Amino acid sequence: NAGVTQTPKFQVLKTGQSMTLQCAQDMNHEYMSWYRQDPGMGLRLIHYSVGAGITDQGEVPNGYNVSRSTTEDFPLRLLSAAPSQTSVYFCASSSRTGNNSPLHFGNGTRLTVT
Amino acid sequence: AQSVTQLDSQVPVFEEAPVELRCNYSSSVSVYLFWYVQYPNQGLQLLLKYLSGSTLVKGINGFEAEFNKSQTSFHLRKPSVHISDTAEYFCAVSLPFTGGGNKLTFGTGTQLKVEL
């Protein structure tokens, strides 16, 4: 059972560089989302998608772009990395567009921006 | 908008002792409530959830939580902890029927450290 797979696990960027965090799920989940986790702040929603071709902003979307061309994949793009984006990023998915379906999380990508 | 407060950032406890992790929420409408656990260097896993019905909810690994509407609380309990319960625990809330997606609002987490 692969579940939710995130790559890479670790990444170091210089300020101004761009990169894409990959997320793939093999559970045919309609809903996918990206969170960032920072010490003392819990997890905050960046962007989410309720299906292929549909995305929307979460609580902290600035500096990030997403797209959802397939059900399986939901990449997160950092256009111009900033030190404030140093964080651990989690991708999550759930089985249907409802509020009571549990989220399945990947193991995270630890990003450092210098 | 809804919010979640976990007042205790760290809870140390001895093995086989009981533990309670506190969670309070704020919302003007009915909500769904969740507890997730995060082991080191891993993603979050669902422990239990409250949707409706019985206010006492049982989850995995011997954990349970009680929904108290009047006190807007959803505290997590375990009668006897094990070293393997050492992890960070997150309380989360979502609004029913928002039209799509499980947009959880998380608390700041409570680090449970079980000691011998």
At A19-38, the pLDDT tens digits run: 999 999 999 998 899 999 99
Residue B74 has what pLDDT?
97
| pLDDT, chain B, mean | 91
pLDDT tens across B46-98, in order? 999 998 888 999 999 999 999 999 999 999 999 999 999 999 999 999 876 55
Does the beta-carbon distance from A101 to B102 stay under 8 Å? yes
Does the beta-carbon distance from A99 to B43 stay under 8 Å? no
Question: Chain A closest CA to B112's CA: distance in Å?
Answer: 14
CA angle, corner A52, sides to A43 and A96, nearest 5?
A: 60
Segments of chain A scoring below 50 in pLDDT: none
pLDDT over 60 at B99, yes or no: no
CA–CA distance, A50 with A47 (Å, rounded to integer): 11
pLDDT tens across B9-31, in order? 999 999 999 999 999 999 878 88
3-class DSSP assignment, residue B29: coil
For residue A31, which residues of chain B lie inside 8 Å, CB to CB?
A: 100-102
Which residues, at least 6 apart from B16, have a Cβ–Cβ distance to it below 8 Å?
B80, B81, B82
Decide: B9 and B57 in contact? Cβ < 8 Å. no
Which residues, at least 6 apart from A13, have a Cβ–Cβ distance to it below 8 Å?
A19, A78, A81, A111, A112, A113, A114
Confidence of residue B107 (pLDDT cuts 50, 70, 90): very high
In the A/B pair of chains, how many CB contacts fall below 8 A? 75
Residue A98 has what pLDDT?
60
Supply A87's token pair: 């964080």
Residue A93 has what pLDDT?
92
Residue B101 has what pLDDT?
58
Is A39 part of the contact surface with chain B (CB cutoff 8 Å)? no
Q: Mean per-residue pLDDT for B104-115?
A: 94
Q: Mean per-residue pLDDT for B87-115?
A: 84
Does the beta-carbon distance from A40 to B9 stay under 8 Å? yes
